[in-house]
Structure 1
């Protein structure tokens, strides 16, 4: 029986994944990183630090430190969210429905606190979440299960009673490692990717979650 629902943030609460890719292309590309060279990286769902560390190891740049590049990327994404961020289609009615069902709600993101705060403020949804977990609260980001275990602990709900919405393989892996049930919301270009088979359910949009189409009953 599900007692809590935990949401990832980027690509799940808000359409921010394009901003991350734009930031990487503009800032890392401006430093000379060639994204076509091996070893390539699927960065969705990874921490910003992990993405920067990967490219710095294989294509180091002389101008800025990884920490400076990290801050530039965070600033780029924060500005984009605060000025033009939009909720995922169907999110707002879903949050209201879950609240009405008296389910505990949390957000668990690999992003830092500033981006979590910016997103919740932009969308006006902070009041829905009893637990707000960001990267700075855990030792290891996704795909480690730490942040999902922290969210469950803060909600006072056992992991097996938590339902998670995730859009990335790293995030799905983290939630599954935490012992939770996962609904995947892949980006359209990844819809047919076999890696999402580890999720318990796959949807394109929250509007699919009605009583007739949801085999995973949100209320148990």
Structure 2
């Protein structure tokens, strides 16, 4: 979802910086990079272990971050170009479509409403419902089960290494959505696309 449907990576970084620094955490870019593939709760625990704060529960802090990200998604122009029409074409071809994200459940309807795509997804799952988030493959196994599909029948579109690794560990094919990035590691993907607006894309 983050990085495929919406360009929200920067929002997470901004929200985490704002919330954690307000609690006395000394957020550095180096340490923040370590949290990119974590769930929101894992990120909150990461910073609490290094800079324990008092009087505010971890769950409350986590929700402060989530609320700030939601506000940014709702107010900013962050949709990935061409992704809605891409999904609509898949639906026309009778593909089942699922969403499996490390982001909290609260954010899923916000993003799908922003995209006007609630009706296009057969399943939408958050790692909130799993013991471990990506790169653990559990969420992809759950999505396949709810779609009534075998994992080897599924193709996953991912923009992060941890997401691609989760899908590969679930036995699924992976399309890396690079969005023109030259810095991310996409080597484990089976296929690559730079844009959802390419004239060469076939279904």
CA distance in 2, matches of 1:39, 1:16: 19
Task: State the TM-score, normalizing by the size of structure 2.
Answer: 0.89
CA distance in 2, matches of 1:105, 1:54: 33
| 2:144 aligned to which of 133, 143, 152 | 152
Match of 1:135 in 2: 127
Any idea what SS the aligned residue of 1:197 has?
A: coil
Match of 1:201 in 2: 191
Q: Deviations over 1:1-60 (max 9, x none)?
A: xxxxxxxx1111112211111101111122232233875543333201111111211222
Q: Are the aligned partners of 1:108 and 1:147 in contact in 2 as well (CA < 8 Å)?
A: yes
| 2:168 aligned to which of 176, 189, 192 | 176
Report the CA distance shift for 1:169/1:97 in structure 2 as closer, same or farther (over 3 A).
Answer: same
Match of 1:61 in 2: 53
Q: Are the aligned partners of 2:84 and 2:115 in contact in 1 as well (CA < 8 Å)?
A: no
CA distance in 2, matches of 1:40, 1:92: 31
CA distance in 2, matches of 1:125, 1:59: 40
Task: State the TM-score, normalizing by the size of structure 1.
Answer: 0.83
* CA shift for structure 1 position 74: 0.8
Report the CA distance shift for 1:80/1:118 in structure 2 as closer, same or farther (over 3 A).
Answer: same
Structure 1 runs of 4+ off > 6 angstroms? none
CA distance in 1, matches of 2:47, 2:5: 28
Match of 1:191 in 2: 182
Report the CA distance shift for 1:44/1:167 in structure 2 as closer, same or farther (over 3 A).
Answer: farther
CA distance in 1, matches of 2:152, 2:197: 25
CA distance in 1, matches of 2:153, 2:175: 14
Report the CA distance shift for 1:127/1:203 in structure 2 as closer, same or farther (over 3 A).
Answer: same
* Pair 1:29-2:15 in alignment: no
Q: Are the aligned partners of 1:159 and 1:180 in contact in 2 as well (CA < 8 Å)?
A: yes
CA distance in 1, matches of 2:4, 2:199: 14
CA distance in 2, matches of 1:92, 1:23: 26
Q: Which runs of 5+ in 2 are unaligned?
A: none
CA distance in 1, matches of 2:95, 2:199: 16
Q: Which runs of 5+ in 1 are unaligned?
A: 1-8, 212-216
* CA shift for structure 1 position 63: 4.8
* CA shift for structure 1 position 75: 0.7
Task: State the Cα RMSD in Å.
Answer: 2.1
Of 15-24 and 51-60, deviating more is 51-60
* Pair 1:92-2:84 in alignment: yes
Q: Are the aligned partners of 2:158 and 2:164 in contact in 1 as well (CA < 8 Å)?
A: yes
